[in-house]
Structure 1
Amino acid sequence: MICGYRFSERWYLLLLLVMPVLAVAQQRVAGRVVCEGKGVKDVVVSCGAATVRTDARGRYVLYPDAAEKFVQISVPSGYKVHCDTTIPRFYKKITTAGNAYDFTLSRNPVDDNKHVFFAQADVQVTSQEDLAAYRKEVVSDMLAHLDTYRGQDVFGIDLGDMVGDTPSLFPDYIHSMAPLNIPFYRAIGNHDMAYWGRSFETSERTFNDYFGPTLFSFNKGKAHYIVLNNNFYVGRDYFYMGYVDERTFRWLQQDLSYVPKGSVVFVMMHIPTQLQKAQQPFVYDYSTIADQTVNAAALHKMLEGYNAHIISGHMHYNLNVVYNDALYEHNTAAACATWWQAPVCLDGTPRGYAVYEVEGNSVKWHYKSAGFDQSHQFRSYYQQSKDTLQVIANVWNYDEKWKVEWLENGELMGAMKPFSGFDPLAYAYCSDKEKIKYDWISPIETTHLFKATLREPGSRVQVRVTDRFGRVYLEEVKKDK
């Protein structure tokens, strides 16, 4: 009895010591989601990996880890949230214990089963001059292109690197986008991170202050949208790698559990998952781990069963990777092109942004070159090769379902031959070191080049490109290109 009493007493004392630790390990987060004063049922609310649906009165209760900073809703189809200067307020910062975290939705005045979004990557401003160029070249073009979709539900996605290690420019970047007057959801890029901290967990703090969480989702029509952070800061100087951490996977698993299989799912992130269709052997060098997501296979696995589109940036060139019929990655060219030094990216893609048109389960897309008509989908050149004259075409949004053909004196000559090489215009810009102030800028070889050899010099030559949606683009090759 004495031993039993002492044993029980010791366990009781131990529990008294442990209970405060358990209490601070979690927190209680509760609130309500309403529209026009009435609760909205089945809205997904999350705080880290803790996820729940609202009840019939719009109420929810969560018990997330104490370290979580935000509670957020996955805005349901047919609804909208308030925006502050293009920033959607789908989240609330967790403050004092006992607070109610309530969300107010408004009904979407248009049917969002048909909707459009603009995706820009790597604005990467470092100065007021860059911001002025961004407003003049890109924002003004977006404003004009928005007229094409008047009366439709339109929003934007920024794929990260909004600034170039200059967080002081976040307010000016936000102000520069104000004329667009549409919601813009934002992914964090490596140049948006807070460097010089001791761990990955410290790298989001500045982004959080301006834009909220780096991991969230929302819905439009039948489509589900996910934004995540795959820039893993390693706690040393400014170094990072492409990596999805376990916290993100746990949240993603919960988020996708509410999305029916077969749905269209868009996953937005800064660093590409892969740059080739097949996963390459792992090589432990910085350029490899910083330009791709080292554990991409696990992410691809989680997307099985969905009609998934991964949309990324980071590389300052345009590249499409079709893994299979249900998984497509769009690596988007840079809005800043070559860091505001030239109007084309390292592969010759003009500065611009991507446009996606979604209706039900159907998705179409095109690349919109800033300052050009929507029909500007390739650039053609003459190029002398030994004793022959060739025509070169750079088709920057190409994938294997496109056709690239050529005509000589009105006669269809057939398909042009794909090859890997440098875009002539990008090569010329990057070689002019008097105009390019960053000496590390160099063109890259691209695989979306095509060539054909003329039968007769002086012939009239046209290039005809047909995209995967059957849209045809025809251009006569000019001598001065």
Structure 2
Amino acid sequence: MKHLLKYLFVCFVCAVNMSVMAQPVADVKGQVKCQGKGLSNVVVTNGFDCVLTDAEGRYALPYHRDARFVYVTTPAGYLPQREKSLPHYYKRIESSVGSYDFTLTKNPKNDNKHICLVQSDVQAAKASDIEGYVKYLKDVRQFVDKQKSSDIFVLDCGDIVGNAPAIFPSYIQSSDVLDLPFYRAVGNHDMEYGVRSYEHSYKTFEEYFGPIYYSFNRGKAHYIVLNNCFYINRHYRYIGYIDERTLQWIEKDLSFVPKDHLVFVTMHIPTSSTKELKFNALLPDETSNASSIYDLLAGYDAHIFTGHTHYNWNVVFNDKLMEHNTAAVCGTFWKAEICTDGTPSGYGVYEVNGNQVTWKYKSAGYPLDYQFKGYPVGSSEENPQDIIANVWNWDEQWKVEWYENGKCMGEMQRFEGYDPEAKIICSDKERMVYDWIMPIKTEHLFKATPQDKNAAIEVVVTDRFGNVYKQNIK
């Protein structure tokens, strides 16, 4: 009898537990409002599922055990609340919270026309690096102050710090001076190293900046920010890779975006430096499964913003897809104000009007029309008889011509080589400190051989939008 009672008690406990387990876990729900009224048709996500708010602005997302945040894809015409440079479009999921409500504000400016500033690789590792970042931000502030009527925000392509999470607060405080929203991507130097898996590598970043992938809208443009730094925990290694969870979310996110809208994707590691993807690649400097993101973007006019390489380079994959790899804010690792390809420290300026976009690269400390640097005969060790032009934001639709004593001599020849100034700077090992800092070859160099080395030389560069830039080579 004793054993029978024990058996019945165990059965009862199991039945109760099974009943509890069978109960559906509560949805993650809430309301999206503006000025006290619910907003309909706003996309809300937990990083796995995406839903639209109803007529009263209410939503309900199915419970997902791995979801850490619930967040809003801010619709055109609205802004999330923010604390200086930190937009508050997300809330951390906690068992004690019953409703996750969001309050948006109407954008006081016309976001159909807006300006997106793209920066990358601040890579601050110590206090002196933050001082360099503050100096750089003075240039950004001057640019922004001239655009007071425009809707402006910043996209940061990652490597905010240099393996120094303790610097995050200083970086945030410095960025706050612009009083603009910053939308940030994870860089490989922003990850937590020494953890056991990829899923733990971005936890510190999340504590400061929220979800590692998300989206928002401005006018007829849709912006997606991703993490493609896949930590593999072998000698602190990583590859460029977008995991399946993220790809599935992108597919759901894009299902709400009309095909006539522009799409901009921001992440740290480039997808590819060439039009043709490299074969059998597990790469730390390119995205191994880049074709997956290309497939998802098919049918949209799309642009990809990346950093990581510390040089400037554009890849036109086709007439609807282009990648802009942006040079480093830190220049040559805060040892010089140009990068190892000769591109000055700076940022991309993208002006969006409806579903059209134009862009320039803004060199910090220079006027916006400073789009290339010319070098006289004798500057290049590899091409001592030639004048050289470094046109850092070049793509196939640009034209680079030269004049000798006022006569047009035609287009300059593009070649792969070293920027003369970058080569000199990197050879100064005392200044560079680190032996591994080296100049890199770039393909945005142009050369021509004057008939008279003492002639008056002028280089004339025309960008894809018809803007003309001139420089006398002395």
The equivalent position to 2:167 in structure 1, one of 166, 169, 179, is 169
Correspondence for 1:441 = 437
CA contact under 8 A between 2:260 and 2:355: conserved in structure 1?
no
Correspondence for 1:421 = 417
Correspondence for 2:87 = 88
Deviation (angstroms), 1:457: 1.7
Secondary structure of 2:143's match?
A: helix
The 1:305–1:22 alpha-carbon spacing in structure 2 relative to 1, beyond 3 Å, is farther
How many angstroms apart in 2 are the aligned matches of 1:23 and 1:336?
54
Deviation (angstroms), 1:364: 0.4
Structure 1 gap ranges (5+): 1-11
- 2:189 partner letter: H
The 1:129–1:27 alpha-carbon spacing in structure 2 relative to 1, beyond 3 Å, is farther
Deviation (angstroms), 1:186: 0.4
- Mean Cα deviation higher: 311-320 or 89-98: 89-98
1:287-366 equivalences under 5 Å are 289-366=283-360
Deviation (angstroms), 1:233: 0.8
Structure 2 gap ranges (5+): 1-11
Correspondence for 1:9 = none
The 1:23–1:315 alpha-carbon spacing in structure 2 relative to 1, beyond 3 Å, is farther
CA contact under 8 A between 1:27 and 1:66: conserved in structure 2?
no
How many angstroms apart in 2 are the aligned matches of 1:147 and 1:462?
33
| 1:241 and 2:235 aligned | no
Deviation (angstroms), 1:28: 1.9
The 1:143–1:19 alpha-carbon spacing in structure 2 relative to 1, beyond 3 Å, is farther
Aligned residue pairs, count: 462
| 1:411 and 2:411 aligned | no
Correspondence for 2:73 = 74
Report the identity percentage.
50
The 1:260–1:386 alpha-carbon spacing in structure 2 relative to 1, beyond 3 Å, is closer
1:173-212 equivalences under 5 Å are 173-212=171-210
How many angstroms apart in 2 are the aligned matches of 1:433 and 1:201?
38
Deviations 1:198-226 (A, max 9, x none): 11110111111111011100000000000
The equivalent position to 1:466 in structure 2, one of 455, 459, 462, is 462
Deviation (angstroms), 1:235: 2.9
How many angstroms apart in 2 are the aligned matches of 1:305 and 1:82?
32
CA contact under 8 A between 1:338 and 1:344: conserved in structure 2?
yes
1:138-177 equivalences under 5 Å are 138-177=136-175
Deviation (angstroms), 1:85: 2.4
Deviations 1:71-110 (A, max 9, x none): 0000000001111120100000111245210000111111
Deviations 1:177-203 (A, max 9, x none): 111001010001010011111111101
- 1:314 partner letter: H
The 1:18–1:105 alpha-carbon spacing in structure 2 relative to 1, beyond 3 Å, is same
CA contact under 8 A between 2:28 and 2:63: conserved in structure 1?
yes
| 1:381 and 2:375 aligned | yes
How many angstroms apart in 2 are the aligned matches of 1:446 and 1:202?
36
How many angstroms apart in 1 are the aligned matches of 2:280 and 2:97?
48
Deviation (angstroms), 1:389: 2.8
CA contact under 8 A between 2:185 and 2:266: conserved in structure 1?
yes
The equivalent position to 1:214 in structure 2, one of 204, 212, 215, is 212
The 1:223–1:462 alpha-carbon spacing in structure 2 relative to 1, beyond 3 Å, is same
Deviation (angstroms), 1:134: 1.0
The 1:242–1:64 alpha-carbon spacing in structure 2 relative to 1, beyond 3 Å, is farther
How many angstroms apart in 1 are the aligned matches of 2:258 and 2:348?
27
Correspondence for 2:5 = none
Correspondence for 1:8 = none
- 1:313 partner letter: G
- 1:39 partner letter: G
Secondary structure of 2:431's match?
A: coil
Correspondence for 1:274 = 272
The 1:21–1:324 alpha-carbon spacing in structure 2 relative to 1, beyond 3 Å, is farther
- 1:57 partner letter: E
Q: RMSD over aligned Cα, in angstroms?
A: 1.9
Deviations 1:376-404 (A, max 9, x none): 10011123379973110000000000000
- 2:332 partner letter: T
How many angstroms apart in 2 are the aligned matches of 1:298 and 1:110?
35
How many angstroms apart in 1 are the aligned matches of 2:419 and 2:382?
18
| 1:223 and 2:217 aligned | no
Secondary structure of 1:333's match?
A: coil
How many angstroms apart in 2 are the aligned matches of 1:374 and 1:33?
40
How many angstroms apart in 1 are the aligned matches of 2:205 and 2:338?
28
Correspondence for 1:102 = 101
- Mean Cα deviation higher: 262-271 or 383-392: 383-392
The 1:15–1:246 alpha-carbon spacing in structure 2 relative to 1, beyond 3 Å, is farther
How many angstroms apart in 2 are the aligned matches of 1:17 and 1:282?
49
